[in-house]
Amino acid sequence: MTPHHGVCTVFPILDEYEGIAVAKTERFSFDFGISRILAVAAISSSLAGCAGFIPLDAPDAVATHTNAALVTEPTTPLAYALMPVNPAVLQATNGFTDSSGKIFSRLPGGNYRDVTIGIGDIVTVTVYEAQAGGLFIPREAGVRPGNFVDIPRQQVDQSGNINIPYAGSIKVAGLTPRAVSNIIRERLKDRAIDPQAVVSVAEQRGNQISVLGEVNSPQRFPVDPGGIRLMGAIARAGGPKYPSYESTITIKREGRTYNESMSTIVHNPSEDVLLAPGDVVFLTRIPRVYMVFGSTPSPGSIGGTNNRRFSFENDNMSLAEAIAKAGGLDGNRADSKSIYVYRFEPKPLLERIGIDVSQFPTKTIPAVYKFDMSKPDGWFQADTFRMRDHDVISVAESPSTEFIKLMNPLNAASVNADNISSVVVNSK
């Protein structure tokens, strides 16, 4: 066959080699080795002309580069810190992992304990006098029982005020019922007989907290006297739908939002803060994940997991657990001396370890932790190393693997050549 330019030509090897065999019979005396060389050459030339013939699921590198309107110059490699793990490094990074995310305890306005009156609340006021014949109690005995008068319930207006007969308009929003009682008494003391006032909130409509999102019973409810803590509010809303290590809590307060993992609050009681009126608590399911690449079992071969992205199954997952969930190391390919964990670390952490970070202009530094799991202490370190959300694990290949990869197609080609040669010899 004659190959055409730009067209993939697949040689009908059997026919060609039958022709070759005839030619050999008539003209030459080829030995078995030359037949094998011709077979391999036929296969190679066939595959060389197949660009555009073999189906692809995406453009290859050549097509992508060739069709680009502009190709920019390659950038310099990203600078990163490579740190073989030792006890000092392990202690520093785990300490940061345990302390990260503690922000709720620093929220402004988190010491709310006294229930104050808010706009929209329904307020009741009762005024007492020491004896009859005063401002509110008539002199005639038997006209009415008791020495008090109930003022009709009022809703605190948009300006935060209520009206009390003979005391006028009183701004009550933001004050406690006890403080409002004192104001009413002061305004009536010159007109009533030793007046006393009792103020209470019949319905709280302004000082309320909302708990929404991934809870079993989203609710909006008033703040209890003495305040209510975050976990208590979530419990009142039926608790979270998902485990703590998959739940993220967002608190919206005074126009700002604050986020923290529920696991952090569970393990740090100081993060279980008192809520303030108007707070909105929102629970979101955000599973923490990590990725595993390199010389681990192929996706789908372990437990049917057909990817390399795995979710955390507890609050604190170690590197050893993470690798085990991915199927462990591939005994035929993995270099157990070179297990890497990629993540971004803050500058102060690396400075604490003793690394010179002056060459890094950013606040966070690409960091790579190296584990040698060919020794027992490497396994102990891996079982102690705390994983974080979106960590990347890379298991390097053994140096011999590249050689094996190179030899596999050559061996396959040799087997094919042997088969073709057998056909050629048998056709003589």
Q: Which CATH number does the domain housing residue 132 bear? A: 3.30.1950.10
Both 167 and 254 in one domain: the answer is: no
**What CA–CA distance (Å, rounded) separates 248 from 312?**
14
Both 217 and 252 in one domain: the answer is: yes
Residue 27 has pLDDT above 50, yes or no: no
Q: How many domains does the chain have?
A: 3
DSSP symbol at 274: B
Report if residue 129 sits inside a domain.
Answer: yes
pLDDT, residue 1, reads 42
Query: Which of 234, 258, 285 is the last residue in one of the domains?
Result: 285
Tokens encoding 105: 């305890």
Both 322 and 362 in one domain: the answer is: yes
- b/e 327-346 (16+ beta carbons within 10 angstroms → b): bebbeebbbbebbbbbbebb
Looking up tokens 């309107």, which residue turns up?
A: 69
Phi and psi (nearest 5°) for 91? -65, -40
Q: Which of 38-52, 58-72, 227-241 has the lowest mean pLDDT?
A: 38-52
Residue-wise pLDDT tens digits, 229-273:
999 999 999 999 999 999 999 999 988 999 999 999 998 888 999
**C-beta separation of 321 from 308 below 8 A:** no
Query: Which of 180, 203, 226 is the last residue in one of the domains?
Result: 203
**Cα–Cα separations (whole angstroms), residue 160 to 121, 174, 184, 199:** 9, 8, 15, 15
Tell the burial category of 287 from Cβ atoms under 10 Å away from its Cβ (0-12, 13-18, 19+): middle
Query: Which of 263, 285, 307 is the last residue in one of the domains?
Result: 285
pLDDT greater at residue 360 or residue 400: 360
Mean pLDDT for 294-305 is 71
Mean pLDDT for 391-420 is 72
Both 182 and 274 in one domain: the answer is: no
Both 193 and 239 in one domain: the answer is: no
Residue-wise pLDDT tens digits, 132-177:
777 877 766 555 556 788 899 999 999 999 999 999 999 999 898 9
Report if residue 86 sits inside a domain.
Answer: yes
User: Which run of H or of E encompasses 61?
Assistant: helix 61-66
366: domain range?
81-95+289-402
Q: What is the dihedral of CA 156, 158, 160, 165, to 10 degrees?
A: -50
Rounded to two decimals, what is the model's pTM? 0.68
Residue-wise pLDDT tens digits, 94-125:
988 888 778 888 888 766 666 788 888 999 99
